[in-house]
Amino acid sequence: MMTWYKEADKKTRRVFWTCSAGWAMDTADALVYQYMIPLLIVALGMTLAQAGAIASANYFAAALGGWVGGWLCDRYGRARVLRLTILWFSVFSFASGFAQTYEQLLVIRVLQGLGFGAEWAVGAVLLGELISPKHRGKALGTVHSGAAIGSGIAALLAGPFAALFDPDLGWRIVFWIGILPAMLIFFVRKGSDDSEMFRQAVQKAKESGQTMSLASIFRPKVLRITLLASLLSLGTQGAAYSVSNYLTPFLSMERGLSISMAGLCVMFNSLGGFFGFLTNAYLSDMLGRRGVFRLFGAGFIITSSIYLFAPLGGSVILLIPTGLIYGFFQFGMYASFGPYFTELFPTELRGSGQAFAYNFGRAAAALFIMAVALASQTMVLSAAMAIFGIVGIACAMTATFFLPETAGRQLHGLDDLDGDEAGAPAAPPAVAKS
């Protein structure tokens, strides 16, 4: 299963571990806010709608930051911008612990979102251009498994760890710990870690006088791919966040668990998600990108419905194994984003396109988050979570029927695109040998 890692050179392995750790901590910082919503409501005197508004604003900021960050990495280099994004989201995560009011926390989380929105996309592009085509799904899917680790870390920090301190201090300490990922910048070399493919594309652009703007991903040749990739991202993340963003409130309000015990249950969901990521990563190279999105999307609808509506009561003995299976599908849906988006977009626009599509989904997911909060005022929270989860999966499934299959393809540039295909190479190149 680790053949791809054994075949990789030292630089690729170092980039892999740096991206994996960065993504894990990026996810932990994003989700720790969500898991601490009950604590923050009390500490800052917020309503559930205000707490949801902060999460939504954070995701909107992530979309903007991701789009700009992706464009910057196309212009100035993958590794250089990766270092900047890691430092940015770490600093503002730390600053979140000093907020005194709802308004202050809102502003800080918006600024934090600008950095965390770009980190995953830039790292995925960097590694995706270094890895062999036949192993791209495995490598990038494994990197994405860091999200499950990050979710587990977030659940542990927001639940049992925060409970060790005074209620007004615990959540602050959790945010302050968010400065630690900044150390990862010392493991990325800002120039030499960029792929030869990218350096050649930069040199070619200089010689031809070609420049790429933020709007270049909307050129006719790539517009269709940009729109469909964004729809896939919107659906997948909208579905996931409709449920995951409110798991702690659901478990405490409807299942009757304490905040600490709810955090423990969410941590086990993340454990299931870790294996979901790895399973998706290997199936993606074997069965194709579109097939695994459909498989895991269907699994998400079934297992999340059981988790929300089955007569499990407040029994941790029943909730933990059920949550493991639900988490397998909820997190596993994400594993193919990295390889699929890397293969869909041409080298000259890969950072911009991948970051925009992924973060468009994050921003649109903010609408799902707010919709669940608003709908919960007229129905039980679990019903609102389920309704918008199903809507999201429907959007994602629709996109998979119009996007091309790319598993095993060599990466391509703008000159390789057939205008009639609008984003896919005219003919799939042969898979490169390692």
pLDDT single digits (tens) 130-143: 888 888 888 888 88
- Distance (Å, whole) CA 372 – CA 37: 14
Percent of the chain predicted with pLDDT > 90: 26
- Distance (Å, whole) CA 54 – CA 44: 13
pLDDT of residue 397: 95
Largest CA distance in the chain: 66
pLDDT of residue 82: 83
pLDDT-based confidence at residue 434 (cuts at 50, 70, 90): very low
pLDDT of residue 191: 56
Burial annotation 153-164 (CB, 10 A radius, 16+ → b, else e)? bbbbbbbebbee
pLDDT of residue 270: 80
pLDDT of residue 375: 92
Q: Give the lowest-confidence range in 146-150, 255-259, 342-346.
A: 146-150
Percent of the chain predicted with pLDDT > 70: 91
pLDDT single digits (tens) 402-420: 999 988 788 877 776 654 3
pLDDT-based confidence at residue 426 (cuts at 50, 70, 90): very low
Cβ 51 vs Cβ 166: under 8 Å:
no
pLDDT-based confidence at residue 431 (cuts at 50, 70, 90): very low
Q: Flag whether pLDDT at 430 surpasses 80.
A: no
- 365 vs 372, more confident: 372
DSSP readout, 140-152?
HHHHHTHHHHHHH
pLDDT of residue 209: 66
Mean pLDDT (whole number) for 241-256:
86
pLDDT-based confidence at residue 425 (cuts at 50, 70, 90): very low
pTM (2 d.p.): 0.78
pLDDT single digits (tens) 90-113: 899 899 999 999 999 999 999 988
Q: Give the lowest-confidence range in 27-41, 228-242, 408-422.
A: 408-422
Least Cα distance to 374 among 51, 36, 60 occurs for 51
Most confident by average pLDDT, 61-75, 255-269, 317-331, 418-432: 317-331
pLDDT single digits (tens) 141-192: 888 788 778 877 887 888 788 888 887 888 899 999 888 888 877 666 655 6
Burial annotation 279-306 (CB, 10 A radius, 16+ → b, else e)? bbbbbbbebbbbbbbbbbbebbbebbbe
Q: Give the lowest-confidence range in 149-153, 249-253, 288-292.
A: 149-153
pLDDT of residue 300: 95
Alpha carbon 110 to chain centroid distance?
Answer: 17
The angle, 0 to 180 degrees and rounded to 10, between the axes of the packed helices 220-244 and 350-375 is 40
Q: Flag whether pLDDT at 432 surpasses 60.
A: no
Retrieve residue 24's tokens: 């894990």
pLDDT of residue 424: 47
Q: Flag whether pLDDT at 64 surpasses 90.
A: no
pLDDT of residue 216: 84
DSSP readout, 285-324?
HHH-HHHHHHHHHHHHHHHHHHHHHSS-TT-HHHHHHHHH
Mean pLDDT (whole number) for 333-342:
87
Q: Flag whether pLDDT at 351 surpasses 60.
A: yes
pLDDT of residue 389: 94
| Residue 425: φ, ψ to 5° | -60, 150
pLDDT of residue 1: 55
Sign, CA torsion 11/13/18/20: positive
pLDDT of residue 419: 45
